[in-house]
């Protein structure tokens, strides 16, 4: 342990997740996630929504992290698993399957058999926000969860893929606190951006971290062709190689 201020101490990711799912620190987001779970979308009327904070998904010793924005109201907020049950997740997991980071190309619900290889999918905000837009205060409120999660992964964490500018903005202060040196000015977000962060003088982490920018998998980007499957697969492939995640492509 170093003198650097550390996030709340958890010895395991399951212990972290057990506390996370009970968090009610953001009144606006708590009200929204629960209202969405009561009102529901017509197609899911017979389902019980999760309507709580959504924890990260993937192995507890992942060398690669994929960081999004926040759970979708009728996707992860319904199913309780990151990027599960909506078109954004379909796009992400199909690409992860194509490059060998997932066991199957679809994500429907917890218990559907999906397994991630060497990769954990998480987000800087863990509750569904109205219009997919958390406030800066909500982002700052939530980022200690991400800090703790990355802290637990950091002995082996080699790369992070950040989906979109919001995640990029949220992640760098977390990485700064976690023990990596952040260049000034801070690197700007862009699709295909690749930044290598060295450990800072605190000694908290010992290995460099590769950070990759990628457009978010929202329908705004995927339906318009701004982000294609090939573009996402290329970033995932590069990041897996940088992290040393052995992957067996599906095709």
- Report the interface residues with ligand SF4, using CB under 6 A: 20, 23-26, 29-30, 53, 125-127, 138, 141-142, 145
Residue 20 or residue 102: which is nearer to ligand SF4 going by CB?
20
Q: 53-66: buried (b, 16+ CB within 10 Å) or exposed (e) per residue?
A: bbbbbbeeebbbbb
Residue 40 or residue 144: which is nearer to ligand SF4 going by CB?
144
Residue 135 or residue 234: which is nearer to ligand SF4 going by CB?
135
Residue 16 or residue 178: which is nearer to ligand SF4 going by CB?
16
| Collapsed DSSP state (helix, strand, coil) of residue 120 | strand
Task: Give the nearest distance from C-beta 187 to ligand SF4 in angstroms.
Answer: 25
Task: Give the nearest distance from C-beta 8 to ligand SF4 in angstroms.
Answer: 12
Residue 53 or residue 164: which is nearer to ligand SF4 going by CB?
53
Q: Decide if 124 contacts 166 (C-beta within 8 A).
A: yes
Task: Give the nearest distance from C-beta 67 to ligand SF4 in angstroms.
Answer: 14
Task: Give the nearest distance from C-beta 80 to ligand SF4 in angstroms.
Answer: 13
Q: 78-116: buried (b, 16+ CB within 10 Å) or exposed (e) per residue?
A: bbbbbbbbbebbbbbbbbbbbbbbbeeeebbeeeeebeb
Cβ neighbours of residue 83 under 8 Å, at least 6 residues apart? 57, 68, 72, 75, 76, 89, 92, 93, 107, 121, 217
Task: Give the nearest distance from C-beta 149 to ligand SF4 in angstroms.
Answer: 12
């Amino acid at each position: 342990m170093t003198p650097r201020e550390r996030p709340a101490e958890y010895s395991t990711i399951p212990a972290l997740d057990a506390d996370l799912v009970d968090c009610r620190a953001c009144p606006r987001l708590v009200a929204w996630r629960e209202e969405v779970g009561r009102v529901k979308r017509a197609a899911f009327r017979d389902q019980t929504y999760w309507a709580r904070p959504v924890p990260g998904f993937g192995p507890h010793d992942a060398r690669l992290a994929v960081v999004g924005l926040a759970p979708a109201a009728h996707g992860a907020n319904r199913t309780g698993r990151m990027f599960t049950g909506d078109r954004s997740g379909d796009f992400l997991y199909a690409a992860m399957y194509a490059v060998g980071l997932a066991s199957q190309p679809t994500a429907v619900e917890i218990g559907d058999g999906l397994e991630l290889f060497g990769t954990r999918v998480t987000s800087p905000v863990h509750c569904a926000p109205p219009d997919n837009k958390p406030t800066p205060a909500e982002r700052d409120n939530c980022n200690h969860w991400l800090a703790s999660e990355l802290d637990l992964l950091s002995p082996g964490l080699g790369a992070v893929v950040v989906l979109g500018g919001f995640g990029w903005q949220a992640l760098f202060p977390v990485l700064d606190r976690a023990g990596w040196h952040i260049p000034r000015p801070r690197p700007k977000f862009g699709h295909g951006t690749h930044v290598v962060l060295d450990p800072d003088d605190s000694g908290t982490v010992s290995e460099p971290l590769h950070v990759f920018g990628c457009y978010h998998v929202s329908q705004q980007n995927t339906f318009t062709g701004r982000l294609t499957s090939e573009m996402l697969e290329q970033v995932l492939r590069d990041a897996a190689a940088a992290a040393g995640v052995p992957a067996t492509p599906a095709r």
